[in-house]
Amino acid sequence: MTTRLAFLFPGQGSQAVGMGNDILKEFPETREIFEHVDDICNKPISRLCFEGPIEDLTLTINLQPAITAVNLACLAVLTKAGVKISVSAGHSLGEYGAMVASGVVTPYDALRLVNMRGDLMHREALAHPGVMVAVLGKGIDEVSKVVEVAKKKGVISVANHNTEEQIVITGEAASLQYATDLLNEQGGAKVIPLPVSGAWHSDLMKNAVDDFRHFMEGIKFSRPKSTMLFNATADTEESPEKIKDIMALQLTSPVRWYDIVIKMIDDGIDTFVEVGPKRVLSGLVKKIMPKGSDLKIYSAGNVKGLMKLLEAVK
């Protein structure tokens, strides 16, 4: 089918009650992942994935290991089937699936990392409350200028550059409201508040950076065996210690998703596979890819999607 295939791993916002349940029933090799996540978190994360309730599943302390477990279950199926990739990347939390796909960490250690990451981010969200909004219809330069002006009201920054004109900003409520008012005055953009429990990828998370970096000292990181593009740099990195630094700084750095996908397309990737629940990243790729492009996009987040992909790559 292709010689240039990318795995994309979703993050927070892709959750749904029931995720992973059909995969566990169909592919017994995934059982270990769900057993590990329950053991590491010392609570029934797998049951939250399968049965909810959505209110508990959506709490970041539960959601981070839950999404990661489902991502890794999908990856385990594809790995056992021998699907070969050229590059991997993950959106925010999804980077931990990409690190497993590229051989940087083991699935077990990825679950340990996201469990700690979720705890630290939850801690900082309670200590330093904040909000996030999506800005649709303006480019990164225009939004960045508004963010710079709004800094006089408090902490604010770009969180995600998702597509050319889909940008998420993050920070304290007063500064986000000021930026929203400026954007509304300028016109030409739609501003949508996001249902999140913290100001992710902002300096409100900065007190978690050193604690998370310290935790990573007890985890073995290896040199990537295949190419991985990182959120904070939109580039590769080979040094395990530098990867740890990047993953710690990711807590306060913007997700450069648009740059990552453009780089993949420029490097000749012709097939994208979303390895995890829903189709959020598939939708972003469709918005980024050139008009008239013949790029292929697969969503491999359930049994039906996985089987369709495996049939295509035979």
Q: Is 92 a catalytic residue?
A: yes
Token pair belonging to 299: 């969503």
Question: What is the chain's Cα-based Rg?
Answer: 19
Catalytic position from the list 86, 92, 157, 299? 92
Q: Is 128 a catalytic residue?
A: no
Which residues are CB-contacts of 246 (< 8 A; sequence separation ≥ 6)?
230, 232, 233, 237
Catalytic position from the list 201, 253, 282, 299? 201
Q: 95 near 234, Cβ under 8 Å? A: no
Token pair belonging to 58: 């959506």
Residue 12, Ramachandran bin (φ over 0: left; ψ between -120 and 50: alpha; else beta): beta
The residue count for the chain: 314
Angstrom distance (rounded) from CA 231 to CA 1? 28
Annotated catalytic residues are: 92, 201
